[in-house]
């Protein structure tokens, strides 16, 4: 009925707001990733640091209040870090092309 429709529209508005925040945070994280790329380039370090990535994955899981979300949180950050590496590679390629 009408009550259910209002509820779902409210929930969708809340999801939209959370997504807006996520997009802003994603952009900020990618900007920082480009800075990391410049730092690594300046010191001749590789983009991939597998030990650091595992450390990050573990620490992000530990930040959860709801342990049932551990696998999903790990998958999310694996993808975020893959995208960060991709962004670093692109930044390094742009700098190499200059």
Q: What is the distance, to the nearest Å, from the Cα of residue 36 to the centroid of all Cα atoms in its chain?
A: 14
CA distance 47 to 36: 9
CA distance 61 to 49: 19
pTM for the whole structure? 0.85
Confidence of residue 96 (pLDDT cuts 50, 70, 90): confident
Provide the terminal-to-terminal Cα distance of the chain, rounded to the nearest Å.
61
Q: What is the pLDDT of residues 83-95, one digit of tens each?
A: 999 999 998 898 8
Q: What is the pLDDT of residues 33-79, one digit of tens each?
A: 999 999 999 999 999 999 999 999 999 999 999 999 999 999 999 99
């Amino acid at each position: 009925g009408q009550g259910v429709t209002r509820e779902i529209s409210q929930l969708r508005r809340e999801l939209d707001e959370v997504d807006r925040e996520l997009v802003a945070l994603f952009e900020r994280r990618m900007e920082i990733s480009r800075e990391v790329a410049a730092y690594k380039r300046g010191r001749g370090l590789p983009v991939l640091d597998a030990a650091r990535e595992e450390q990050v994955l573990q620490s992000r899981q530990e930040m959860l209040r709801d342990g049932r979300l551990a696998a999903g949180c790990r998958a999310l950050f694996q993808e975020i870090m893959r995208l960060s590496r991709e962004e670093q590679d692109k930044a390094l390629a742009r700098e190499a092309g200059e």
